[in-house]
Amino acid sequence: MPSVFQNLESSNQQIADKQTDVIDLLGDLKNNTDRIEDSWNDLHTISRAVHPGDLIPGEDSLAMRVRAMPTPIDRISFAKKIDNGVDIEWGEVVKAGAGQTINQVGGNLTLTAGTTARSETIIRSHDIFTGDIRLRVRSTLSQRIINQSLIAELVDVIGDNLTYTITSATSITVEFPQQLPEGIYVDATLVGQSVTLCGFTGTGTFLSGRYPITAVSGQNVTLAVTGFAVGTGTVSVVGRHFYRLLYDAAVATTAKFDTGRSGYATGDTTITTTTSAAPGHLVVLTGKDTTATISDQLVASSATVALSPRGSRSENVPSDKALRLQIRVLNLGTAPASTTTWTIGMVSISELISQDVTVQDVRPMSGAQGMPVEIVRTANTQPISGSVTVTPANPAAALTGDTGAKTATGNGATQTNAASRGAHIVINVGAVTGTTPTLTVKVQGSADSGTTWVDLPGATTAAIIASGAYGVFVSPGSAPVAGVATAGTAAVANITLPRTWRIVWTITGTTPSFTLTNVQVAYIL
């Protein structure tokens, strides 16, 4: 009997345990139900607050949500006053060159080049910029002289403080780091590519510049150089990919522009700019959609859009590479005659967010390739009241003002051709005196508003010796006719009349005098 009671007691205990488990499960179920209800309430609240068009579309959605994305812009204003350095919030001094200075003062980054040959200062941003990009640099240079290079660039950084060995005047070997930027491998595929060596510290004779790779052995990369001398030390390697603005000549209205990708570059292009002298200019360098462009404008305010395009690149554009801002001041192998102050008022770097749009099967285009547009016009008539003035197809004849007695070779007043292809020019000659006098009249044109003049081919009379009317007809598409010394005849030149033109008379003889009563001009539209 005791065993039966024991078994019954054990069964009761098992039932009690099961009941406890069920109670626990019911509690968990209630808690889950409460959480589901809370989540449903939250979802209901969100669904009322969010418009259906704001929901993220799926792959079967009929339309894609589009919203404006703000362009990330890194603005470097140099607002903090810092002596002998830069604000560590945006950058660092990689190298300070001998005899050169770096200061942030008055909202500007002020760099002096000094006069020490081969001296170099390098400043580099902490931030990395990738993708379509726009670099703005506001510069003022105290002077422009030879043997100095002032550089603003976006570059990839392969490494700093890398060991170098200069083995000869034409060869240097650099030990590349084990940890390299994505996409670069130290092997034979680097041969033929070029990188920039800068920030030298050590012995020997060296000069920062862009040099080609000639050989690779392990981590040792050999480059071809010029004018070096044997020595050892450390160097920075940058610029396998780059955008570069370079000031290096004695002309204040020029600069150089280049881009590089995967170790290859087109080479510097000299561009014409507004002056880099005070108050300075703003350079805008843009890399977008495999095209790089450079533009600039004066810092002075203007009532119109002042940015002017200066150059472009359609290859070797590193628009998908990780780049840092780098500012360099470099003196060349010959010491510059005097120091230059480079004042940088502002730098900004924008990472452009692009969205391709196709309109009726027309592919996206660059600024240099406009979208074709067909202008559709319909006939429309409107009643006109009042008087109507009819303007003749060709304007009435005008006078040049070239009158009076001409006794020596000279030229007439500068004339302006507003919108005509040519002109009939009639020279009316009055009294002629002197011994064996001759008068030859020709037409000249100018492409620089009257500073430099050239003869228009065929637009000349013969040697005139008597009074009368003589013509020079400048008429594109006409059969050329040589001038003759007969009154009432005209020379015909098959050319277009320039905007700026004049007549020139050549006089010979003893005490000659030709009286021009007038010079008439009838323009040909």
Q: What are 153-177's pLDDT values in tens digits?
A: 999 999 999 999 999 999 999 999 9
Q: How confident is the model at residue 48 (pLDDT cuts 50, 70, 90)?
A: very low
Q: To which residue do tokens 């000299």 refer?
A: 270
Q: To which residue do tokens 């990330």 refer?
A: 72
Burial 310-329 (b: 16+ CB within 10 A, else e): bbbbeebbbbebbbbbbbbb
Higher-pLDDT residue of 471, 49: 471
Q: Is the pLDDT of residue 56 over 70?
A: no
pLDDT at residue 30, rounded to an integer = 65
Backbone φ/ψ region at 84: left (φ over 0), alpha (ψ -120 to 50), beta: left
Higher-pLDDT residue of 525, 248: 248
Q: Give mean pLDDT, residues 409-427.
A: 91
Q: Which sign does the torsion angle of CA 187, 190, 195, 197 carry? A: positive
pLDDT at residue 405, rounded to an integer = 94
Q: What are 249-297's pLDDT values in tens digits?
A: 899 999 999 999 999 999 999 999 999 999 999 999 999 878 999 999 9
Q: How confident is the model at residue 53 (pLDDT cuts 50, 70, 90)?
A: very low
In CATH, the number for domain 398-524 is 2.60.120
Output the average pLDDT for the chain: 86
Q: How confident is the model at residue 373 (pLDDT cuts 50, 70, 90)?
A: low
Least confident of 77-91, 302-316, 381-395, 436-450: 381-395
Q: Give mean pLDDT, residues 24-41.
A: 67
Q: How far apart are CA 507 and CA 437, in angstroms?
A: 7
Q: Which sign does the torsion angle of CA 21, 24, 30, 33 carry? A: negative
Return the CA Rg of the chain: 39
In CATH, the number for domain 73-156+238-300+307-351 is 2.60.120.200
Q: Is the pLDDT of residue 120 over 60?
A: yes
pLDDT at residue 37, rounded to an integer = 66
Q: What are 174-221's pLDDT values in tens digits?
A: 999 998 888 889 999 999 999 999 999 999 999 999 999 999 999 999
| Residue 293 tokens, joined | 């462009």
Q: Is the pLDDT of residue 388 over 80?
A: no
List all residues 6 or more positions away from 3 whose beta carbon is below 8 Å from its beta carbon.
none
DSSP string, 41-104: HHHHHHHHHS-GGGSPP-TT-SS------PPPEEEE---S-EESS--TTTEEEEE--TT-EEEE
Q: To which residue do tokens 């640099």 refer?
A: 137
Helix (H) or strand (E) segment spanning residue 16 = helix 2-49
Q: Give mean pLDDT, residues 105-110.
A: 95
Q: How far apart are CA 164 and CA 195, in angstroms?
A: 14
List all residues 6 or more positions away from 349 whose beta carbon is below 8 Å from its beta carbon.
73, 74, 76, 125, 127, 129, 133, 134, 135, 136, 154, 325
Question: What residue ranges of the chain are covered by domains with CATH 2.60.120.200?
Answer: 73-156+238-300+307-351
Q: Give mean pLDDT, residues 374-381.
A: 59
